[in-house]
């Protein structure tokens, strides 16, 4: 079965209960049970991004990994960013893409560092020979039950990873982007319905939508498009690093499809928005949330 076969979305991928599990730090895809499907085998490309040169953040695991693999399978060359401690996951992605005969360069580093963001864009442009799409998937979230117990450092990290890096990377990339290029950012359904335990994260995800919409209006004069993907619950390391094991065992159970998305189910959303098929689509959102998204 591939993604291109019609299937019942309720039964297509693993459903809870899952084994209870937690992870430390930024987590690893390779430690998840069941292993996430990032499209390594299941995604079928049809040349929708032939010749594209793309920089992807958060490319080691989860949604960013699925986006990078999908775009490479559609014919793109890809620069891959993640945190240095995630190099094992990142190397797996590099190898999958290299086996497809596409260029994949690993550019690990911390996006909370303004100087690194500049260097990341510069190096990606140098190694790929240009930049046609900037695909920003990296994100940071931490659970805080009580606002009175959250530190400034913690709040600041959420802002830096989710918002400042967006500004820093866009500012560095736009001068290299020719008309026809595009920017894709990543929000969350929690932008519209903030969880009480993650309000700083939800606020950044709302800001990403507004910022990207404004960017689309500004960059239209340069022929550059900008759009946002809005995921619902997805089976990625972000969840076992955030929630207790028994909640992960039930992850996605209370959604209309009764399961979380697998990362591969997000891949074609990034391909569509980054590639040439979405030529008149700018300043909008594409929600991939299994009927958990809001109507307006």
Distance, in Å, from the CA atom of 85 to the CA atom of 122, rounded to the nearest integer, reads 22
If the CB atoms of residues 60 and 74 are measured against Mg ion, the closer one turns out to be: 60
Per CB under 6 A, does 183 bind ligand NAD? no
User: What letter does residue 234 receive in the DSSP assignment?
Assistant: B
Region 158-177 residues binding ligand NAD, contact defined as CB under 6 A: 161
Helix (H, G, I), strand (E, B) or coil at 213: helix
Check if 201 is active-site: yes
Q: 127 contacts which partner out of Mg ion, ligand NAD, none, CB within 5 to 8 A by kind?
A: none
Q: 159 contacts which partner out of ligand NAD, Mg ion, none, CB within 5 to 8 A by kind?
A: none
If the CB atoms of residues 161 and 177 are measured against ligand NAD, the closer one turns out to be: 161
Q: Where are the alpha helices (DSSP H) in the chain?
A: 62-73, 87-99, 114-128, 152-159, 165-173, 199-219, 245-249, 264-274
Per CB under 6 A, does 234 bind ligand NAD? yes
Region 248-267 residues binding ligand NAD, contact defined as CB under 6 A: none
CA 133 to chain CA centroid, nearest Å:
14
What's phi and psi for 225, nearest 5 deg?
Answer: -100, 155
Whether the CB-CB separation of 285 and 86 falls below 8 Å is answered with no
Which residues neighbour 138 within 8 Å (Cβ) at sequence distance 6 or greater? 57, 58, 64, 81, 82, 111, 161, 165
Helix (H, G, I), strand (E, B) or coil at 293: coil
Peptide bond into 68 cis (omega under 30): no
The 121-140 site mask, x for binding ligand NAD (CB under 6 A), equals: ----------------xxxx
- Taking the complex as a whole, the smallest distance from the CB of residue 245 to ligand NAD amounts, in Å, to 16
Q: First vs last Cα of the chain: how many Å apart?
A: 34
Of 43, 192, 201, 211, catalytic? 201
- Taking the complex as a whole, the smallest distance from the CB of residue 236 to Mg ion amounts, in Å, to 8
If the CB atoms of residues 61 and 262 are measured against Mg ion, the closer one turns out to be: 61
Distance, in Å, from the CA atom of 243 to the CA atom of 16, rounded to the nearest integer, reads 15
Applying CB under 5 A, the residues found at the interface with Mg ion are: 60-61, 86
Per CB under 6 A, does 107 bind ligand NAD? no
When binding is defined by CB under 6 A, the residue of 12, 42, 186, 268 that contacts ligand NAD is 186
Q: How many residues form the binding site for ligand NAD (CB under 6 A)?
A: 30
- Taking the complex as a whole, the smallest distance from the CB of residue 189 to ligand NAD amounts, in Å, to 6
Whether the CB-CB separation of 86 and 28 falls below 8 Å is answered with yes
Residues that bind ligand NAD (CB under 6 A): 26-27, 57-58, 60-64, 82-83, 86, 110-112, 137-141, 161, 186, 188, 231, 233-234, 236-239
Instruction: Cite the active site residues.
Output: 201
């Amino acid at each position: 079965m591939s993604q291109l076969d019609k299937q019942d979305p309720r039964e297509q991928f693993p459903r809870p209960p899952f084994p209870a599990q937690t992870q430390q730090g930024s987590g690893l895809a390779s430690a998840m049970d069941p292993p996430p499907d990032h499209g390594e085998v299941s995604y079928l490309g049809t040349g929708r991004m032939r010749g594209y040169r793309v920089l992807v953040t958060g490319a080691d695991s989860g949604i960013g990994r699925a986006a990078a693999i999908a775009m490479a399978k559609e014919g793109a060359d890809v620069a891959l960013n993640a945190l240095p401690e995630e190099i094992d996951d990142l190397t797996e992605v590099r190898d999958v893409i290299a086996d497809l005969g596409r260029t994949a360069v690993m550019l690990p580093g911390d996006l909370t560092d303004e100087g690194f963001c500049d260097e990341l864009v510069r190096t990606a442009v140098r190694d790929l020979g240009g930049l046609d799409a900037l695909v920003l998937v990296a994100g940071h979230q931490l659970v805080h039950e009580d606002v009175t117990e959250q530190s400034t450092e913690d709040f600041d990290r959420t802002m830096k990873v989710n918002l400042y890096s967006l500004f820093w990377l866009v500012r560095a990339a736009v001068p290299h982007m020719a008309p026809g290029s595009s920017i894709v950012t990543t929000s969350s359904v929690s932008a519209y319905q903030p969880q009480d335990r993650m309000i700083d994260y939800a606020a950044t995800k709302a800001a990403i939508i507004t910022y990207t919409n404004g960017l689309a209006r500004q960059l239209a004069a340069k022929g550059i498009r900008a759009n946002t993907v809005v995921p619902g619950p997805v089976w990625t390391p972000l969840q076992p690093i955030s929630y207790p094991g028994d909640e992960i065992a039930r992850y996605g159970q209370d959604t209309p499809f009764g399961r979380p998305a697998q990362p591969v189910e997000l891949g074609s959303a990034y391909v569509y928005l980054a590639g040439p098929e979405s030529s008149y689509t700018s300043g909008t959102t594409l929600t991939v949330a299994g009927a958990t998204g809001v109507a307006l």
